[in-house]
Amino acid sequence: MKLYSKRRGAISLVIFALLFAFILYTAIRGFGYEYSGSISDIKLGLDLRGGVSITYQAVGEDPDQQDMDDTVRKMQDRAYSYSTEAQVYQEGSNRVTIDIPGETDANKVLQELGTPGTLLFCTNYQDIEGTTVMDGNDVEAAQAGSDSDNKYVVMLTLTDAGVEKFSKVTGELAGTGNPLYIIYDGEILSAPTCQEQITSKSCQIEGSFTYETASQLASYIRIGALPVELEELRSQVVGATLGTKAIDTSLVAALIGLALVIVIMIVIYRMPGFCASLALVFYTGLIIVLLAAFNQEITLTLPGIAGIILSIGMAVDANVIIFTRIREEIGLGNTTAGAIQAGFKKALSAIIDGNVTTLIAALVLYIFGTGTIKGFAITLALGIVLSMFTALVVTRLLLKSLYALGLKDKKWYGEKKPAKEKNFLSKKNIFICASCLVILLGIGFMIGHGVKNYALNYSLDFVGGTSTDVNFNENRTIDQLEAEVEPDIVEAIGSTDVSMTPVVGSNEVIIKTQVLTQEQRSALYDMLEEKYGVDSSSITYDTITATVSSEMTRSAILSIVLAAVAMLIYIWIRFRDVRFASASVLCLVHDVFVVIAAFAVFRWTVGSTFIACMLTLVGYSINATIVIFDRIRENQAILGQKADLKSVVNISVTQTLSRSILTSLTTFVMVLALYVFGVTSIREFALPLMLGIVVGAYSSVCLAGALWYIFRTKIGAKKSAEGNAKKA
């Protein structure tokens, strides 16, 4: 069988080499006059680059907590327009702080956000109080735009209550020429007239707007829709919460991990492994270029870097599935050309099903998630699409081209003889009981810890803490603070949950810790005064709420549940058997619960990276299960309906065992490099991920087939038997 002619193979390699060089050059250096698209254009988060921190204070008496909670939530929505990694939290009883990563101009952000005040819609400016028909709470969204005549307008989206009020007042004003006054803190922002009654949720304000004036009006309307009137207290540019060491070590980990994966692939798969390695480097370059291109939608934090490094390991998966098939075909006596063709053809369904399932999860996470979850979903979807492209297009092109140029001997590709069937199902009861015991152990620890304090060891990201402002006698970089000051703080307060943020252009440092007792606070102040000469009377502190809101937590849980349901439906449709879908989702739930159990038993810190860890596990875990189920489906078709189901499951798991182990190994190696070479915060992310990879491999190999077999023989078995009898 002829794949490529020699001439076509040579041309394809030349084209790939040029494109390969272009992508890598762009990723490292950039492209065009402005050198855009390089790694330096990727938008970094507060932890890696710093940003702008703005604190607002409620005007007048302290508002009640419900109004403050609503204000924080609405300010969070606005902050997301800058970055999905923006953080908004309550400070003290009447202040709200917004941290926006990647921004360096506090005045610009302030101008765009506006000064929060009171927004009213009135029919008579001389009697504001008596003629107010709506307020800012009736507005859901406002933004500048253009109409069909390309004139700038302000587009409003109203709440359900706002629609009813707006319909009534526009009906009364329509055709009268009387304006509807939009008043902000006592000043008229706009006074549009109503041509007709408006009953829809969306409407627009027309006028002689420039884009800037339309944007400014939209900004005032957005910021006025708050239950609490706020005024700016302070604004400052803050430095990164992690030093350059964190970035450097992460990059070193990425390079080392990538090198190890390349070595493993070449040693095991020879020529196909070499092609996959080139495709993997190409994939890495593409990821960098696209992250730079979508820097307005994605803000990269340290967990994000870890997630991308993890995706590099995951990108190997599709190649491993293909190469395993090629070696099997050669082992069955097929020619090299035939094996390459058959390998890609037979691997296609498993690759598509596994990746589409994860892509569906990413889509659900993006639609229903908030903040960090949306950013993660975009990165996950990007990685999935690119990994499929590099495996099915780039690797295939390289293999066929090298074959055409003369590398046709089977020794370059290896062969795999049919493996001896291993009886995995004989130990299914042991596997299931072991998993249940681990999960029950975790639940027991959570209940035990919950009686005394929290079920899990939550960081200040989840439970809030104390923010302490310290003015040192000299300026210190974040690296110096981490190396010199942080160990002393940990010793003074007896907790490792410490975050430090230097304020740019000053000696001020914001130290965030757990809620400090009077004794801990005194110990901290004494240490700072004795060791660093800080004037303890100048130190200020206040309590802060969680940066991961309860709404974000609920959103994460809801997103994971909906993603699981969506995956179940897809697998049900594709495999035409709800038992495949049920077993897949049960394995996914098992993996999540086992990792949570480990967090409970070992008291690992549950911080903002915890959500990223769980989401990564959801995206990663189901792939291996899909590959095994795809092989079960294939073997059922080959062996027929009368085949022994135990044998079908055992041989399917056996045939895919090397793939399950190798994919898990390459991914584990990438994360292990993060753990070995990373800083403390990255290790907190890498450790549970390594466990998740191991648990995911275990559930796929030991539980997935067993659960399907139990469902197949215990649920619907009678119906299947009756159906076979009717056919007979």
Among candidate residues 222, 215, 133, the one with its CA nearest the CA of residue 180: 133
For residue range 413-431, list pLDDT tens digits in order: 887 777 788 899 999 999 9
Indicate the SS3 state at residue 332: coil
At 303 the pLDDT is 60
Residue 97 lies inside a defined structural domain of this protein? no
Same domain, 346 and 284: yes
Residue 498 lies inside a defined structural domain of this protein? yes
Tell me the one-letter amino acid at 657. Answer: L
Same domain, 256 and 391: yes
Same domain, 395 and 480: no
Same domain, 395 and 533: no
User: pTM here?
Assistant: 0.74
Same domain, 253 and 334: yes
Residue with the larger pLDDT of the pair 472 and 211: 472
Same domain, 363 and 493: no
Q: What is the mean pLDDT of residues 357-367?
A: 81
Q: Pick from 505, 528, 544: which residue ends a domain?
A: 544
Q: Pick from 505, 527, 544: which residue ends a domain?
A: 544
Residue 15 pLDDT exceeds 70: yes
Angle at the Cα of 562 from the Cα atoms of 350 and 689, rounded to 5 degrees: 65
Angle at the Cα of 240 from the Cα atoms of 234 and 241, rounded to 5 degrees: 95
Same domain, 400 and 472: no
Tell me the one-letter amino acid at 254. Answer: A
Same domain, 264 and 389: yes
Find where tokens 């802060």 sit: 544
At 497 the pLDDT is 81
Q: How many CA atoms lie within 13 A of 65 on its CB side?
A: 2
Distance between CA atoms of 634 and 639, rounded to whole angstroms? 9
Residue 535 pLDDT exceeds 60: yes
At 705 the pLDDT is 92
Domain of 280: which CATH number? 1.20.1640.10
Number of domains in the chain: 2
Tell me the one-letter amino acid at 361. Answer: A
Categorize the per-residue pLDDT at 594 as very low, low, confident or very high, splitting at 50, 70 and 90. very high
Q: What is the mean pLDDT of residues 552-570?
A: 80
At 598 the pLDDT is 92
Residue 691 lies inside a defined structural domain of this protein? no
At 398 the pLDDT is 92
At 426 the pLDDT is 92
139 φ/ψ sector (left φ>0, alpha ψ -120 to 50, else beta): beta
Residue 102 lies inside a defined structural domain of this protein? no
Residue 397 lies inside a defined structural domain of this protein? yes
| Cβ contact 284:309 at 8 Å | no
Distance between CA atoms of 545 and 462, rounded to whole angstroms? 8
Residue with the larger pLDDT of the pair 65 and 522: 522
| Cβ contact 283:23 at 8 Å | no
For residue range 276-330, list pLDDT tens digits in order: 999 999 998 898 888 888 776 677 776 666 667 666 766 788 888 899 889 888 8
Same domain, 287 and 384: yes
Distance between CA atoms of 377 and 619, rounded to whole angstroms? 9
Residues whose CB is less than 8 angstroms from the CB of residue 644 and which lie 6 or more positions away in sequence, other chains included: none
Indicate the SS3 state at residue 290: helix
In eight-state DSSP terms, residue 82 is: T
In eight-state DSSP terms, residue 183 is: E
Categorize the per-residue pLDDT at 650 as very low, low, confident or very high, splitting at 50, 70 and 90. very high
Distance between CA atoms of 171 and 174, rounded to whole angstroms? 5
Residue 198 lies inside a defined structural domain of this protein? no
In eight-state DSSP terms, residue 410 is: G
Among candidate residues 155, 147, 143, the one with its CA nearest the CA of residue 215: 143
Q: What is the mean pLDDT of residues 489-512?
A: 86
Same domain, 258 and 399: yes
For residue range 600-640, list pLDDT tens digits in order: 998 888 876 777 777 777 767 787 888 899 999 888 888 77
At 408 the pLDDT is 86
Residue 151 pLDDT exceeds 80: yes
The helix, strand and coil proportions of the chain, stated in percent and rounded to the nearest 5, come to: 65, 15, 25
Categorize the per-residue pLDDT at 549 as very low, low, confident or very high, splitting at 50, 70 and 90. low
At 1 the pLDDT is 47
In eight-state DSSP terms, residue 699 is: I
For residue range 172-205, list pLDDT tens digits in order: 998 888 999 998 777 888 898 888 889 999 988 8
Tell me the one-letter amino acid at 20. Answer: F
Query: What is the torsion angle, in degrees rounded to the nearest 10, for the CA atoms of residue 437, residue 442, residue 447 and residue 451?
Result: 140
Q: Pick from 380, 412, 444: which residue ends a domain?
A: 412
Residue 227 pLDDT exceeds 80: no
Indicate the SS3 state at residue 102: coil
Residue 727 pLDDT exceeds 50: no
At 728 the pLDDT is 38
Strand partners, 144: 154
Residues whose CB is less than 8 angstroms from the CB of residue 282 and which lie 6 or more positions away in sequence, other chains included: 20, 23, 390, 394
Residue 179 lies inside a defined structural domain of this protein? no
In eight-state DSSP terms, residue 637 is: H
Among candidate residues 342, 299, 298, 302, the one with its CA nearest the CA of residue 323: 342
Residue with the larger pLDDT of the pair 720 and 153: 153
Domain of 482: which CATH number? 3.30.70.3400
Residue 445 lies inside a defined structural domain of this protein? no
Distance between CA atoms of 209 and 144, rounded to whole angstroms? 10
Tokens of 382: 């990007």
| Cβ contact 687:672 at 8 Å | no
Same domain, 408 and 469: no
At 441 the pLDDT is 94
For residue range 662-713, list pLDDT tens digits in order: 888 888 888 888 888 877 667 777 888 888 889 989 999 999 999 999 998 8
Residues whose CB is less than 8 angstroms from the CB of residue 583 and which lie 6 or more positions away in sequence, other chains included: 625, 629, 704, 707, 708, 711
Distance between CA atoms of 508 and 317, rounded to whole angstroms? 48
Same domain, 523 and 397: no
Whole-angstrom CA distances from 65 to 68, 90, 115, 119, 546 are 5, 10, 21, 21, 14
Lowest mean per-residue pLDDT among 220-224, 301-305, 437-441: 301-305
Residue with the larger pLDDT of the pair 50 and 323: 323
Tokens of 49: 């680059």
Q: What is the mean pLDDT of residues 528-556?
A: 81
- The whole-chain average pLDDT of the chain stands at 83
Tokens of 95: 């202040």
What is the extent of the structural domain holding 276? 6-41+243-412
Residue 434 pLDDT exceeds 50: yes
Tell me the one-letter amino acid at 692. Answer: G
Cα 698 to chain center, whole Å? 24
Among candidate residues 77, 119, 112, 88, the one with its CA nearest the CA of residue 228: 119
Indicate the SS3 state at residue 179: strand
Write down how long the chain is. 728
pLDDT above 90 covers a percentage of the chain that reads 18
